[in-house]
Chain A
Amino acid sequence: MRPLAIAALSLGIAACAAPPLRGTGDLGLVVERASGRVMLIETTGRSALGRIEGLGDLSHASMVFSRDGRYAYVFGRDGGLSKVDLLQARIERRVIQAGNSIGGAISQDGRLVAVANYAPGGIRIFDARTLEPLAEVRTGAKVVGIADAPGNRFVFSLFEAGEIWIVDASQPRSPSVLKLKGIGKQPYDGFITPNGRYYIAGLFGEDGLALVDLWEPQAGARRILAGYGRGEEPLPVYKMPHLRGWAVAGRYIFLPAIGRHEVLVLDSVTWTEAGRIAVHGQPVFAVAQPGGQRVWVNFAFPRNDVVQVIDVPAMKVARELHPGRAVLHLEFTPRGEQAWVSSRDDGVVVVYDGASYAELARLPAESPSGIFLTSRGAMTGF
């Protein structure tokens, strides 16, 4: 019945009965990466409402949401930027804006969408309403870890160059750029703390991370957790970890180590190591369950059929879940009562009860990867 309602909505309500009104607070999209489409989901009844096709190459696709929770901006690998209307379950606008992209961000005021590109290296800034291009900032290097920061700024790292750039887009057609150089070797991803103050880039080329205080960006980046690998030879990394997600639980930040089967615990007051937790494999995402008592972790190939749950007060793994083969992503509902987990190779999205770990639903999906709920639209850094 529900898909029908959505379909009726998309017809533009020509006929008699108006479809029931609804909000978007419990909606989200799941990337079906091999088929260039997304699955529209709702977390109240835990069901799929429909599919939206024609989004291009969605390997490593991600998205951000408009501040009203109605639109998703989907960033495709092929440089496609698509504005998806969740209420009408259709693509409202779509542009191909580069040859090869990796992600994007939406500005604090919701009026700008920035896309991070590998080729040509740089970011492009678009009007969120019309997708009209407003500005381009060329970097000459691959852009990773883009995040929005207060003041309509976009912060990102440059993989080859080892730099962090802060773009102030408060004048969207003529943005200004602050470049922080020498921040460390091969930053591979970055994120901003939930309060919008700190930007942290993970480094692939050395053991450590780079920290920028966005209240004082001119002070530059400082190295934290330097030498966490203790000089040991790193294990092969078959999939790059991701830092973007709620890795913050109370004063602690949980971060995947590179080339180690460990989650690093960073104290966000002293910026020193508060511990490390042995886990099942190379962590990819470490995501704090809202409330901060637990952190859920998934893993890189070949140990990617497991999710481990870290108990934060105990600082150890308390639970292991087996949702299916090739677990690529997990997302909590904003109050943390459900965890949605995608298993690419079993073609399923599994919904867990956030307290009992009971399986609440299994939704078939084609090679599902990222799961994105509209609640992200209200959070800095998402």
Chain B
Amino acid sequence: MRRLAILLAFVAASAAAADGPAPARRAELLHLVRQDCGSCHGLTLKGGLGPSLEPAALAGKDAEQMSFVILHGRRGTPMPPWSAHLSEPEARWIVDQLRKGLPQ
């Protein structure tokens, strides 16, 4: 619930639509997560060279920190920074989707 509140507050603060990326962009983002994040984290996101991104593995992790890692990468690991391709609200939205489990 708090997560949702943070997300809503954040999205409301940005001038964009109140509920995250537009539907067409959402489809693109989900495709990106599955296919391109999937290169290292596995198509089903259960992990590969990179760790699992399944909801159980993410439980208890801080949403803000996860979004930061998506945008800026993790030094010393193969995780690259995605900020050239994703906005901050988009990274937040991806974190939210990952924590819920991607739609099948």
Contacts and interface: CB of A to CB of B under 8 A. Distances in A.
Interface in A46-60: 57-60
A236 B46 contact: no
A293 to B, nearest CB: 31
A188 B85 contact: no
Interface string B32-44: 0001101110111
Interface in B65-88: 73, 76, 78, 80-82, 84-85
Interface in A312-333: 326
Give the interface size class of chain B.
20 to 34
Given A100-B42, A238-B36, A118 B47 contact: yes
Nearest to A100: B47
Contact of B35 (A186, A240, A344): A344
Contacts of B81: 236
A142 interface: yes
Contacts of A33: 43
Given A77-B42, A301-B36, A59 B78 contact: no
B59 interface: no
B49 interface: yes
Given A188-B78, A238-B80, A344-B35, A59 B47 contact: no
Interface of B: 31, 35-36, 38-40, 42-44, 46-49, 73, 76, 78, 80-82, 84-85
Interface in A284-309: 301-302
- 3 cross-chain pairs, A with B, having the tightest CB-CB distances, nearest first: A59-B43, A236-B80, A239-B39
A254 interface: no
A74 B49 CA distance: 19
Contacts of A59: 38-39, 42-44, 48
B39 A159 contact: no
Interface centre among A77, A144, A238 (most CB of B within 10 A): A238
A60 B80 contact: no
Chain A contact surface mostly = loop
6 contacts: A59-B44, A77-B42, A77-B43, A205-B76, A302-B85, A345-B31
A239 B36 contact: yes
Interface string A182-224: 0000101000000000000000110000000000000000000
A240 B40 contact: yes
A102 interface: yes
Contacts of B39: 59-60, 238-240, 301
A57 B43 contact: yes
Nearest to A144: B49
Contacts of A205: 76
Interface of A: 33-34, 57-60, 77-78, 100, 102, 118-119, 142, 144, 159, 186, 188, 204-205, 236-240, 301-302, 326, 344-345, 367
Interface centre among B35, B47, B76, B82 (most CB of A within 10 A): B35
A237 B78 contact: yes
Nearest to B80: A236
A326 B39 CA distance: 12
A119 B47 CA distance: 9
Contacts of A77: 42-44, 46, 48
B1 to A, nearest CB: 33
Given A59-B38, A59-B42, A344-B35, A237 B47 contact: no
A59 B31 CA distance: 14
A77 B48 CA distance: 8
Contact of B48 (A34, A118, A204, A237): A118
Nearest to A56: B44
B56 to A, nearest CB: 14
A344 B43 CA distance: 13
B35 A100 contact: no
A286 B7 CA distance: 43
Contacts of A367: 35
Nearest to B47: A100
